[in-house]
Structure 1
Amino acid sequence: MFDPTDLYELAEDLPELTDPVLLYHFDGFVDAGAAGRLALRHVLDELEHRVVATFDVDRLLDYRSRRPVMVFDTDRWTEVETPELVVHSVKDVTGTPFLLMTGPEPDSSWERFIEAVGTLADRFGVSKMVTAHGIPMAVPHTRPLGITMHASRPELMNSAHASTFGRVQVPGSVAALMEFRLGARGRDAIGFAVHVPHYLAQAEYPTAAVTALEAVTSSTGLVFPLDGLREAARRTTVEIEEQINASAELSSAISGLEQQYDAFAGGAERENLIAESTPMPTGDELAAQFERFLAERDDD
């Protein structure tokens, strides 16, 4: 019989943790504005951490669908970006320890991977599992970003992030299946889907990452250093405004989105603000203009 612990290797000298939160995000599924990826990358950049568990990516990834980047220099191969799926032990601003899992979403063996995560959660005494990502919505960047929250049991929900969705069918993800499977076994799991303006979905949008981490703080009490991320969000907003002010077409489109958003927020009948093709404005036209703008930006 398969032993799920064979999928990962524990580090030596593991820390003693007391009911830690497990914060996680996997690259590869929908993440508008790179909300989840930016948020967790910022946490690792800013806080003290070390690896406590490493998954065997050779068993989990399809290299032909996600070929690792290699560097060829003159007459030889000199570098390769080896994918890693790891669990870190991290301390927040107040010194509270928690776990953070990042890496590519597994291409195969989802059920076995989730079993393995469950054994890790048992090993470390995880109290709550939390994930966050971005979803494209027909909302303007000039309004506060909304959040759709979901959880493994109703008592974990926050009324401030109540869902406006009904019953829908969507493509599955490891993060969603993990919440479903482990939640069914009694483990507390929470997810936050940040509403990202659909015309910014393909760009890195730090404001969405700030919103995601603030939601995590509200549900877990973990405190993150956000000054740098907020400054990045401010700079991005300035660049977006410059582009809009230079285009009458964009200005008109954003104004239309603002009216639509305000009507929805005021109680006008509409089930949700999922991005869709509408006469005013079309998401494809907005996105195309912003993609041209973003392509001209410096890497910073």
Structure 2
Amino acid sequence: MTTSPDLEIEELPNLTDPVLIVAWEGWNDAGESASTAAQYLIQQLGARPFATIDPEEFYDFTEARPMARYRNGERFIAWPATEFVHLQSPDGGRDVVVGIGIEPHYRWKRYMSAMSELVDAIGAKLILSLGAVAAGTPHTQPVHVRGSANNSALAERYNMHPSRFEGPSGIVGVFHDHCRRQGVGGVSLWASVPHYLPGITNPVGAQSLLRVVSDMTGLRFDLEPLERGIQRFHVQLEEALQENSELRDYVARLEEASPMPQAEPQPEGELPSADALIADLEDFFRQGGDSNNN
């Protein structure tokens, strides 16, 4: 059914004018916000994956290890493949396909060929790629989402601008440019999440991305379960701050610096012992917010 040796399509769903939403774990996924958003969509509306990109040529399995799973009385190995799921919109709206995977370690150009074949197979004319960047914004402010379009028509429709970023690129930027060269419209959406929480899943960033996705696609889904998780996240984080005066003071400086998130962390003063602060927060969340567990 496919010409790519890497793309496997089991059964192509019947799709009308679908939009493809993609996210990758890894460098472009600060706070796991992008991958969490994609996984949430799949959990809320998705079904079994209908297509995968075989991982064999693209990953170092000592870095992205296969996982042992146990389900329905059987043990099996789950490999880190890129999977594609057709979302079942509850209101019968526009068809949406979500792709989620891990940023490849090898052969990105070959990986792009498999992605292109998937785009052609489903007939997608619009791609939304999700990402998240660590920024100098405090967790007490709303997460800002910025977008860039890869052609002038999309830029005008969504009031966006082409990206002028110069520097190292992750898989999101590479795919965004690849779509442009293939003549496929693409928008990349980036959530700016606090840079002092890099090792902790940030559901607020995921929520902000999902709201923009809903506005752009008309896709409707229930955010209440995610909002409950956000409430727990904030409670635990505030408890952690009460136990770490250095981080509490640092957040206060960020709040005073600017109401708008910055592309790079720009606090007033030096971040105090970043590795130690991160370790403190990770330990706190691992213990479920109970400081008496030590």
Contact conserved, 1:146 with 1:195, CA < 8 A, in 2? yes
Partner of 1:182: 179
2:225 equivalent to 1:228: yes
Residue correspondences, number: 279
Mapped partners of 1:199, 1:283: distance in 2: 11
2:255 equivalent to 1:252: no
Partner of 1:89: 86
- Give TM-score scaled by structure 2 length: 0.84
Q: SS of the counterpart of 1:58? A: coil
Matches within 5 A, 1:131-150: 131-150=129-148
Offset of residue 209 of structure 1: 0.5
- Give TM-score scaled by structure 1 length: 0.83
Offset of residue 156 of structure 1: 2.3
Offset of residue 187 of structure 1: 0.5
Partner of 1:75: none
2:113 aligned partner, one-letter code: E
Q: SS of the counterpart of 2:130? A: strand
Offset from partner CA, 1:91-143 (integer Å, 9 cap, x none):
23323321111122222222222122222212211021112122111111111
Mapped partners of 1:11, 1:141: distance in 2: 42
2:102 aligned partner, one-letter code: P
Pairing partner for 2:213 from 212, 216, 223? 216
Matches within 5 A, 1:107-146: 107-146=105-144
Q: SS of the counterpart of 2:109? A: helix
Pairing partner for 2:33 from 15, 32, 35? 35
Mapped partners of 1:222, 1:241: distance in 2: 33
Mapped partners of 1:283, 1:37: distance in 2: 28
Mapped partners of 1:183, 1:162: distance in 2: 14
Of 43-52 and 272-281, the range deviating more from structure 2: 272-281
Offset of residue 291 of structure 1: 3.0
Gaps of 5+ in 1: 72-77, 266-271
Offset from partner CA, 1:68-113 (integer Å, 9 cap, x none):
2459xxxxxx653322222111123323321111122222222222
Contact conserved, 2:55 with 2:79, CA < 8 A, in 1? no
Q: Percent identity?
A: 24
Partner of 1:294: 285
Offset from partner CA, 1:158-206 (integer Å, 9 cap, x none):
44x779x864312x22222111012122211111111111111210111
Mapped partners of 1:235, 1:129: distance in 2: 32
Displaced runs of 4 or more, over 6 A:
none
- Distance verdict in 2 for CA 1:282–1:132, change over 3 Å: farther
1:16 aligned partner, one-letter code: N
Contact conserved, 1:213 with 1:224, CA < 8 A, in 2? no
Mapped partners of 2:101, 2:33: distance in 1: 15
Q: SS of the counterpart of 2:57? A: helix
1:293 aligned partner, one-letter code: F
Q: SS of the counterpart of 1:60? A: coil
Pairing partner for 2:60 from 38, 48, 62? 62
2:115 aligned partner, one-letter code: V
Offset of residue 66 of structure 1: 2.6
Partner of 1:202: 199
Mapped partners of 1:224, 1:189: distance in 2: 22
Of 281-290 and 98-107, the range deviating more from structure 2: 281-290
Q: SS of the counterpart of 2:50? A: strand
2:230 equivalent to 1:240: no
Gaps of 5+ in 2: 70-74, 290-294
Offset of residue 34 of structure 1: 0.7
Mapped partners of 2:24, 2:246: distance in 1: 36
Partner of 2:264: 274
